[in-house]
Amino acid sequence: MTAQTPFIQIKSVSRVFNGGNGVHDLSIDIPRGSFVVLLGPSGCGKSTTLRLIAGLETADQGMIAIDGKDVTNVPPSKRGLSMVFQSYALFPHLSVAENIIFGLKVRKTSKDEIKTRLTEALNVTGLQGYEERKPAELSGGQRQRVALARAIVAGHPLCLMDEPLSNLDAKLRHSVRKDIRDLQQRLGITVVYVTHDQTEAMSMADIVILMKDGRIEQAGHPADLYLKPATAFAAGFVGSPPMALMPASALPREVVPAGLDVSRLTFGIRPEDLALTTDTTTKAWGITATVNGSEFLGAETFISVAIPGTEGATARLPGRVHIAPGTQVSLSWAGAAAHWFDGEDGRRLAPTTSRQSAREPNTSIETDTAIPSL
């Protein structure tokens, strides 16, 4: 991603609010035409980063460039970008059409061009026939599309989105996710998208930038974040249900790779990498755990287990599995599926005797076959 000059360049930018929140010494390069998701828990600085790019906040320090131009102190309207707000920020007194062409009118675009662009934006977002409605007369999904139409009508190469799906219901969210992604690819625009929902990030992004406390925790392709989380935080944040994290001291000794200090080591395992058996006698090794609940989701079942000395874990088993709460089970996994992190700073540790090939997609298949499941 550094082959050509990045479309957006953020260089050691800081913006600190009273109370310490904000972003600290942030540097991001965003390539042209990519879909970048800023992901993180609330207060991690992702929205601040977006607002810094938009120009709604001014950087205390550092430099921001868009398309090769330094825009650090340029007002939002001169940065050539559009934005979709969480609340959509539609003007309630204006009709759908007036809302969409608000910016074009402000910029004194010619009448003919406004008309063509409006028609195009309405077509792209499927809002034909709603031109004269007021936002209050639209459903949540339609309002969201009006906000999208307003963002794309000007033809800016950059579109910023601040949690645009958080006000939609779950089903709609799924379809709009796909629509936004399709739209971005069709128009070839760069999108910077803020969300706290890791599913959105994983399913939409070319690049996920995971943030925490105003700093970047990990940036990369969704698969990188999932398969090779750089920190224990990233491991726990990405993936649903989240990766189980536990002190290595709770594990049998032989599982821990040589060369890692057990006293300050965190072990992580994805739910799908956990194999679980009620037969506690035959296996050579495994951790004993107690089942404390199960969630049947149709294609799979989540079994949550309690492991003494840890916060517990979740195993993801295909199909319908019924295990009564209270059952003693034995947990095991393929060695390659294990993640190891420094117990203090959370850094990912690569064991010297590594058999890990985490980037290969067949890791989980190995796991499934290695140990007999229920």
Partner 1 sequence: MNDMARLQKQRLALYGWMLVAPALALMSLFAFYPAIATLWHSLFTRGTTRRPSVFAGIENYNDLFADPTFWIVVWNNLIYAGITIPVSIIFALAMALWANAHIPARSFVRSAYFTPTILPMIAAANLWLFFYTPDLGVIDQITGFFGASPTNWLGQPETALASVIMVTIWKEAGFFMIFYLAALQTIPPDLREAARIEGAGRWTYTRRVLLPLLMPTTIFVFVNAMINSVKLIDHLFILTKGGPNNASKLILYWIWEMAFAYFDSPHAAAMTILVLLTLGLVAVIQFRLVEKRTHYR
3-state secondary structure of 84: strand
Position among 41, 75, 252, 372 found at the interface with partner 1 (CB under 8 A): 75
What is the rounded CA–CA span in Å between residue 133 and residue 124? Answer: 18
Say which residues have a Cβ less than 8 Å from residue 363's Cβ, sequence separation at least 6: 227, 273, 334, 336, 337, 357
Q: Which is nearer to partner 1, 57 or 217 (CB)?
A: 57
Q: Which is nearer to partner 1, 82 or 330 (CB)?
A: 82
Q: From residue 109, how far is each of 104, 124, 154 by CA, in Å?
A: 5, 20, 10
Q: Which is nearer to partner 1, 75 or 319 (CB)?
A: 75
Instruction: In angstroms, give the least distance from the CB of 56 to partner 1.
Output: 5
Taking the mean position of all CA atoms in its chain, how far away is CA 289? 31
Contact between 87 and partner 1 by CB under 8 A: the answer reads yes
Position among 54, 65, 306, 374 found at the interface with partner 1 (CB under 8 A): 54
**Residue ranges in 97-126 that form contacts with partner 1 under rule CB under 8 A:** 102-103, 106-107
Q: Which is nearer to partner 1, 13 or 159 (CB)?
A: 159
Position among 1, 27, 58, 93 found at the interface with partner 1 (CB under 8 A): 93
Q: From residue 110, how far is each of 105, 106, 107 by CA, in Å?
A: 8, 11, 9
In eight-state DSSP terms, residue 231 is B
- Binding piece for partner 1, criterion CB under 8 A, among 77-85, 237-245, 301-309, 323-331: 77-85
What is the rounded CA–CA span in Å between residue 152 and residue 164? Answer: 14
Instruction: In angstroms, give the least distance from the CB of 49 to partner 1.
Output: 15
Interaction pattern, residues 139-178, with partner 1; x per rule: CB under 8 A = -----------x---x------------------------
Q: Which is nearer to partner 1, 55 or 268 (CB)?
A: 55
Contact between 17 and partner 1 by CB under 8 A: the answer reads no
What order of strands is seen across the sheet that includes strand 61-66? 22-30, 8-16, 61-66, 69-70
What is the rounded CA–CA span in Å between residue 143 and residue 136? Answer: 9
What is the rounded CA–CA span in Å between residue 13 and residue 70? Answer: 13
Instruction: In angstroms, give the least distance from the CB of 137 to partner 1.
Output: 12
Q: Which is nearer to partner 1, 145 or 316 (CB)?
A: 145
3-state secondary structure of 218: strand
Contact between 81 and partner 1 by CB under 8 A: the answer reads yes
Q: Which of 10, 84, 85, 92 is nearest to 52 (CA)?
A: 10
What is the rounded CA–CA span in Å between residue 303 and residue 311? Answer: 14
What is the rounded CA–CA span in Å between residue 211 and residue 191? Answer: 17
Position among 21, 24, 33, 56 found at the interface with partner 1 (CB under 8 A): 56
- Binding piece for partner 1, criterion CB under 8 A, among 10-18, 83-91, 207-215, 287-295: 83-91
Q: Which is nearer to partner 1, 107 or 347 (CB)?
A: 107
Q: Which is nearer to partner 1, 56 or 172 (CB)?
A: 56
Rule CB under 8 A: which residues touch partner 1? 54-56, 75-77, 81-83, 85-87, 89, 91-93, 102-103, 106-107, 134, 136, 150, 154
